Amino acid sequence: MKSISYFLATIIIFTVFSCNRRSKDISLTSPDLKSQLIFSLKDGKPVFSLMKNGKDIVLSSPMGFEIKDFPNLDANFVIIGEDFSNSDHKWEQPWGETKTIRNNYCELKVFLQTLSLERLKMNIIFRLYNDGLGFRYEFPEQENLKEFKIAKEETQFILPDNGYAWWIPAYKPERYEYLYKKSSISEIDTVHTPLTIETKNGWFLAIHEASIIDFPSTTLFGFDTNKIGCDLVPWKNGIKAYVKTPSFTPWRTIQFAEKPTDLITNYLILNLNEPNTTVDTSWIKPGKYVGIWWGMHIGQYTWGSGAKHGATNKNTMKYIDFASKYGFDGVLVEGWNIGWDGDWIANGSIFSFTEAYPDYDLKKLTEYAKSKNVQLIGHNETSAHIDNYEAQIEDAYKLYESLGIKYLKTGYVGQKLFNGEWHHGQYGVRHYQKTIELAAKHHIMLDIHEPIKDSGIRRTWPNLMTREGARGMEWDAWGTDGGNPPNYVPTLVFTRLLSGPMDFTPGIFDLEIPLKPNNQVNTTLAKQLAYYVVIYSPLQMAADLPENYSNKPEFQFIVDVPCDWEDTKAINGEIGEYVTIARKDRNSSDWYLGSITNERPRDLTISLDFLDDKQDYEALIYADGVDANWKTNPYPLDITNCTVTSKDSIIIKLAPGGGQAIRLTPIN
């Protein structure tokens, strides 16, 4: 009888909804009327496609999820409703690479229901911009689906051709810290996002995601020449995600442009995050810092206690004095807390986040820093033992708040988290979110290393200032492959940096590595200066030892350059080749320009038409000197100045592996 009843119920449902099972195209057009999204059901399966100016960006691609213990949410659907809306407004970042962002989109919400007896509901929300698309899945509150487990995401991006992709592998021991490979789409591994693609029909694409909250991050894999599938980072038991209704997934995003530099100033990821509604931003300040850090990487100091211990009272006070003299906002000190002795990566369970080594007086040093108008920056390395960290985190953050420590760098070195979970699965995402919210409660700004990738949640939680999430400068000190090659940052700008700020730690002036004679910092000196403009971070480090800046006139550029911007212009660039970026200071009328190249020398003609056309400017230029070369002669640097206007163009000469940095100051 039960089977007969089930059969009759299914027939009734099919009869009621059969008129909706036909293939029905629902079209959404972008605000500029040039882009078009088409959603439809094909035999009950949801698919979408995307085009602009009549050219395909994404061909008809499947959507949905395979779930456990219930009918899957990828087929057997009918459309039970649709809703259109649009929005066009501007909002201001409290800090950022640009102050004002326009959020202009057209939205389609499709309401779906399965034909199964359970009549499960899932909605898909599309937001189409002039230069990008975001879509997310909504699991609404419903009687027959309270909690469920996702076994697989079925979302795909079927591209018009087998173009080129720039990628780093996922599920590897070094997390996001790999050199980028360029290959055809058909040759990519399972990879992290953002995934940057150049199609043969003329598009530059970046596939990523926005607003990762209580959901695993998404990796991508290629198959069948031009198809890209989504793979959610799993729990160690194989489950992809534990979901309760009502809830949303992160936004799946695709940014598109006809030239790669337009991806740099595309703010889709930020726009798809919720506005900040809970955090008072009056105490949140961008800044530059120095620190007891590079000395450990080059072998001058140790993190652990002993004769070469870096985090001592005497050494820290020296750094505080240096920061105060040159107007830096903070001093980072690593190795201050008990737990660094021995194999600290394996023994992360013994770290204390409140108890200092005997030669480091936390209270005395914070008071000394305050007297010098400098912030002491806290440091919490967990070695991925987040059980130990979470047991202490409330007490630690209370202590830091009581001492006036407002900046905190955290770290999660380790292939996986302590219990075998991935950093980037739902378990890790929940932990990172917990630290962000707790830090906001205690008025602490975060710089996260070994993080979950940036998905724009800094808009919602602006105390999350910056993060690592790629190979930084330290790889030049000890990387067994010789460090980051000259084409690395010209690639990074068009890949990892599309997701958000990075604490790359530039500013190395002594480009040789005594600890590893086969290593060096693989740039010219001028390129180190250009990094401060090219690589965006609201917290920027002058990473070298203070003594290496002594009597170096080029250090003035690091002293001068801000890290909070009114506007950003991506002037020119090709992925992995070169890039030029100009930024306007948020707190003055000055502009700064940075240009870098790979191992090839270049002459670039740069129009200054972004300047105020009613104003003359002094251009203070820090350029590669005669015969400069990243490999054989990295130090030559020329400092010159001239007067320019918005009608002028300048020729930038870049040495192999070189760069140029320019400060443009209005002349009264």
SS3 at position 621: strand
Q: What is the dihedral of CA 92, 93, 96, 98, to 10 degrees?
A: -10
Peptide bond into 62 cis (omega under 30): no
Q: How far apart are the first and last CA of the chain?
A: 91
Residue 647 structure tokens: 């009608």
Please pick, among 474, 554, 577, 599, the residue that the annotation labels catalytic: 474
Residue 601 structure tokens: 């020398």
Cβ(291)–Cβ(378) under 8 Å?
no
- From residue 239, alpha-carbon distances to 150, 232, 414, 608, 626 in Å are 6, 9, 22, 53, 58
Question: What kind and span of H or E run contains 209?
Answer: strand 204-210
Verify whether residue 187 is a known catalytic residue: no
CA–CA separation, 350 vs 352, rounded Å? 6
CA–CA separation, 167 vs 169, rounded Å? 7
At 484, the amino acid letter reads N
Ramachandran bin of 573, using left for φ above 0, alpha for ψ from -120 to 50, beta for the remaining angles? left
Cβ(162)–Cβ(186) under 8 Å?
yes
- From residue 320, alpha-carbon distances to 2, 546, 559 in Å are 77, 10, 15
Length of the chain: 668
Residue 425 structure tokens: 């699965």
Residue of 68, 138, 78, 143 lying closest to 114 (CA atoms): 78
Spacing of C-alpha 163 from chain mean position:
24
Pairing assessment for the beta strands 464-467 and 445-448 based on DSSP bridges? parallel
CA–CA separation, 373 vs 323, rounded Å? 9
DSSP 233: P
Q: Which residues are catalytic?
A: 474
